Amino acid sequence: MDRKKRSNSGIKISQKLEQLPPYLFTRIKVLIGEAYKKNLDVIDLTMGNPDQPTPPHIVDRLVDTIQNHPRTHRYPQAKGMPRFRRAVSDHMKRRFGVSVDPESEVLTLVGSKEGIAHLASAYMDPGDVALVPVPAYPVHFNGVILAGGKVCPLPLTPENGFLPDYGKIPAKDLRKAKLLFLGYPNNPTTTVIEDEAFFKETIRFAKKHNLLVVYDNAYSEITFDGYRAPSFLEVPGARDVALEFHSFSKTYNMAGWRIGWACGKRELVAPLEKFKAFVDYGVPTFMQLAAVRALEGPQDCVRETVAVYQRRRDYFVDGLNKIGWNVAKPKATMYVWAPLPESVRAKGSMAFAEELLRETGVAVSPGVGFGQEGEGYVRFALVTHDQRFYDVLLRLRKFIGGASVKYGMPPKPKFYSPKNKS
């Protein structure tokens, strides 16, 4: 291959990086940019990027801290300030009944994406294998490749209930396997865990094969219809085999703030802490203090955020079904994971997403971007205001040649009021 094709400067980039296709959302953003240039009315449902603002009591804490406490402008403590780690430890106890020592079992992250990506580098050597259920949040497999490891995909399909089948892993991969990625409520399939049996089986499997379970719980609070998502660490024995990753991004609409945490047994957290100490200085102290306010302040903002997604889910999924695109209602996450309707299935998800965007301005994530096993699906993120889903349905109906039925406008939402919330 022509060297110049590999990097703009002509200097050869690492094989690890070269192996990776451009990050899914980077490619989609280019296409969206082109659509804007053509003056299309773009409705962007690609990323799980919350459209609602961070609750005001959290913003107020940030503003007050950064204005009045200049010591918070200094380098933070890389593993997280004690106050933050204590708030996380209290939260894990309150919310899940899980005990983690704030001193040695909680690590502050620059968003859970950062921690998950670096975890692979902290644990893997070239030739080591990570078991990755796919389709997956892309960092689950890309982090492994950047670490020089090998991905062994565990297909999630309707037939296996979107749960990995540990019995089908090739023996040669299992022998070299070190990490097992898991995350429920799942992105992108939206699957939830309703029965502890799968967790118990996972713990037995991880112990038998000496695996670290990397449990990604980014959507633990975005759940509907009374469903409450568990922590993997709730299950007896999980502490011995798992690290769990949490995020403020979805729960408190803080995606742009870049803060999250990892927690678990001291010995399992320590390698990630050591690795990160060479890479970053942690999260700014003023942000950690605002995040403490998020965890310890009123939680009605979380309920309101969830209610907004639930309302959009109901309107949009009902609408999809009316136009003949049959999709089940997800019990959690801010996504709808939709098998392509028969009329457009042959296109494949990438071509579908590109054509849909070019012709209608509606941007969705192609399933194949989450791994080959996601082919045949697209993912809608419920991240634009309610009324826009009426337009989305109109455009989709035309694009897929769907049933010409009437569906009303969504009810006018009561928007979250910044007043009376602090």
Q: Which is nearer to ligand PLP, 113 or 313 (CB)?
A: 113
Handedness of CA 34, 36, 39, 44 (dihedral sign): positive
What residues form DSSP beta bridges with 43?
362
d(CA 385, CA 52): 9
Residue 218 engages ligand PLP in binding (rule: CB under 6 A): yes
Q: Closest separation between CB of residue 46 and ligand PLP, Å?
A: 11
Q: Which is nearer to ligand PLP, 218 or 364 (CB)?
A: 218
Please, are residues 282 and 403 in contact by the beta-carbon 8 Å criterion? no
Q: Which stretch binds ligand PLP (CB under 6 A): 110-118, 149-157, 265-273, 370-378?
A: 110-118
Q: Closest separation between CB of residue 116 and ligand PLP, Å?
A: 6
Residue 187 engages ligand PLP in binding (rule: CB under 6 A): yes
Which of residues 61, 142, 184, 216 is near ligand PLP by CB under 6 A?
A: 216
Q: Which is nearer to ligand PLP, 332 or 396 (CB)?
A: 332
Directed axis angle between helix 266-277 and helix 112-123, to 10°? 100
Residue 189 engages ligand PLP in binding (rule: CB under 6 A): no
Please, are residues 135 and 371 in contact by the beta-carbon 8 Å criterion? yes
d(CA 26, CA 35): 15
Q: Which is nearer to ligand PLP, 48 or 135 (CB)?
A: 48
Examine residue 135 and say whether the peptide bond preceding it is cis (omega within 30 degrees of 0).
Answer: yes
Whose tokens are 């509907």? That residue is 224
Considering only the C-alpha atoms of the chain, give the largest distance between any 2 of them, rounded to a whole number of Å: 62
Which of residues 111, 230, 371, 410 is near ligand PLP by CB under 6 A?
A: 111
Q: Which is nearer to ligand PLP, 102 or 188 (CB)?
A: 188
Residue 112 engages ligand PLP in binding (rule: CB under 6 A): yes
Residue 313 engages ligand PLP in binding (rule: CB under 6 A): no
Q: Which is nearer to ligand PLP, 24 or 43 (CB)?
A: 24
Residue 183 engages ligand PLP in binding (rule: CB under 6 A): yes
Residue 220 engages ligand PLP in binding (rule: CB under 6 A): no
Instruction: Name residues contacting ligand PLP, limited to 11-50 (CB under 6 A).
Output: 48
Handedness of CA 38, 39, 41, 45 (dihedral sign): positive
Whose tokens are 């919350």? That residue is 50
Which of residues 85, 113, 265, 311 is near ligand PLP by CB under 6 A?
A: 113
Q: Closest separation between CB of residue 192 and ligand PLP, Å?
A: 13
127 CB neighbour count, 10 Å cutoff: 9
DSSP code per residue over 223-242: B-TT--PPPGGGSTTGGGTE
Antiparallel, parallel or unpaired: β 212-216 and 242-247: parallel
Distances (CA, A) of 272 to 115, 141, 226, 248: 8, 17, 35, 19
Which of residues 46, 190, 231, 249 is near ligand PLP by CB under 6 A?
A: 249
Residue 319 engages ligand PLP in binding (rule: CB under 6 A): no
Which of residues 260, 282, 374, 402 is near ligand PLP by CB under 6 A?
A: 260
Examine residue 188 and say whether the peptide bond preceding it is cis (omega within 30 degrees of 0).
Answer: yes
Interface residues with ligand PLP (CB under 6 A)? 48, 111-113, 137, 183, 187, 216, 218, 247, 249, 255, 260
